[in-house]
Amino acid sequence: MWTFDNTFAEEIAALINQWDNFCPAAALFYWGKNSNDTGLRIEATEIMREFVDNIQFGRDPEGWLFYGTPQDLDTDSGDTVYYRVFTNDESPMAIRIDFFGRDPNTPGIKPFAQFLTKDTAKIPIEDIPADTGSGLWRKLSTGISSATVSKLTNDPTIKLSAHAIGKNLTFNLPDGSSFTHALHIDGAFHFQNIKDLNYNTLAITNYNTDRILYYDQKDSTKLLGVFYRECTYTSHTSAPI
């Protein structure tokens, strides 16, 4: 595991002095059970950029992205970007991610951007199986609609209504589910292509207490969209959902 000695406040100050530009950003970390089952997403809406490694949607811990120019974050051509994850010994620990245009083991190479956040979920270090990875920076192209998830008492059907785009998604709880309570949860529905949300199209649902994921088919990695409930902030999950 890569580490740095500064406190979160000290590292913020050092990065502000080091970089020409910085902006708010949010991350989604995914560390599965082994080093091959990992992912990372960074979303910087102010400059309309996102970094994607195995995760199309998601925003959990809020932080700061430091960079030279937005053009440094244009890799839509398919050029692979490498990253390395650093942590410190605070509790909760700070997490810094350095982005490189080449293998970070290349002698003398320096990052072209860095992201810093605070791990409010207090992830045990041993739960992080990987400290490097690769993905793509690209222009952010995610649509967002206000949405409501609702369910009637004793009814197994859960309905998601995405108001601004006029889309409704429904699914049933598994047979024998003991969850009989009513639901009415406000939040936001994130999607990439509204054309994927066609009438009478089958979607596979994966859900927990703070989000619902919709896939185009079973065992698919293509997400149709994600619903997030309001005021939910976490910084780690041991599985995508």
Q: Count of domains in the chain?
A: 2
Domain end: 93, 119, 139, which one?
139
Position 66 pLDDT exceeds 90: yes
With respect to residue 237, please indicate whether it lies within any of the assigned structural domains.
Answer: no
Q: 117 with 185, same domain?
A: no
Residue 238 and residue 241: Cα distance in Å, rounded? Answer: 8
Q: 86 with 10, same domain?
A: yes
Q: 165 with 202, same domain?
A: yes
Q: 160 with 102, same domain?
A: no
pLDDT at 234 (0 to 100)? 34
Q: 131 with 98, same domain?
A: yes
Q: 190 with 168, same domain?
A: yes
Domain span holding position 154:
143-229
Beta strands in 119-220 (DSSP E): 132-139, 143-151, 157-162, 167-172, 183-191, 204-207, 211-215
Residue range 172-190, pLDDT digits in tens = 888 888 888 898 999 888 8
* pTM: predicted TM-score of the whole model, two decimal places: 0.66
